[in-house]
Amino acid sequence: MFRYVSDCKATDNFVVGLFQPKAENILSYTMRKRLKAVLGEFAIYLGIYSAIVTIYLLFILSSFSGTLSALSESNLIIYSILALALILIQGVILENVTSFIMDRIGFR
């Protein structure tokens, strides 16, 4: 292996990179700025999506809970198909609504 830190070129490049002035490291600054913007958009997206899912759980599933539980006891195959369809429809609708809201507030 390596006896000294200077024997490894990758280590030398890393150490030199640590001490470069910030003005010369423009790409890194741009990447960090873009990362902050993307993380901010993701946080807003996550907040909107979680609010919509909470509303969905409170109103839609509470109205279907009796029907779904009765169906699960009477016919398991139809219940399974209906549950998978609800999951698929929920995902598509919630994604479209969230994307619409994000487009309206100016992200993406």
Domain assignment present for residue 26? The answer is yes
In this predicted structure, the answer to whether residue 20 has a pLDDT above a threshold of 60 is no
Domain assignment present for residue 42? The answer is yes
Domain assignment present for residue 3? The answer is no
Domain assignment present for residue 34? The answer is yes
Domain assignment present for residue 1? The answer is no
What b/e readout covers 77-105, taking b as 16+ CB neighbours within 10 angstroms?
A: eebeebeeeeeeebeeebeeebeebbeee
Structure tokens at 65: 């809970």
Tens digits of residue pLDDT in 29-85: 788 888 888 888 889 888 988 998 888 888 877 888 888 889 889 999 999 998 899
Domain assignment present for residue 47? The answer is yes
Domain assignment present for residue 33? The answer is yes
- Amino acid at site 53: V
Closest CA to 36 of 24, 47, 28: 28
In this predicted structure, the answer to whether residue 100 has a pLDDT above a threshold of 70 is yes
Query: Total domain count for the chain?
Result: 1
DSSP 8-state symbol, 20: S
Domain assignment present for residue 2? The answer is no
The phi and psi torsions of 21 (rounded to 5 degrees) equal -65, 150
DSSP 8-state symbol, 39: H
Domain coverage including residue 68:
8-104
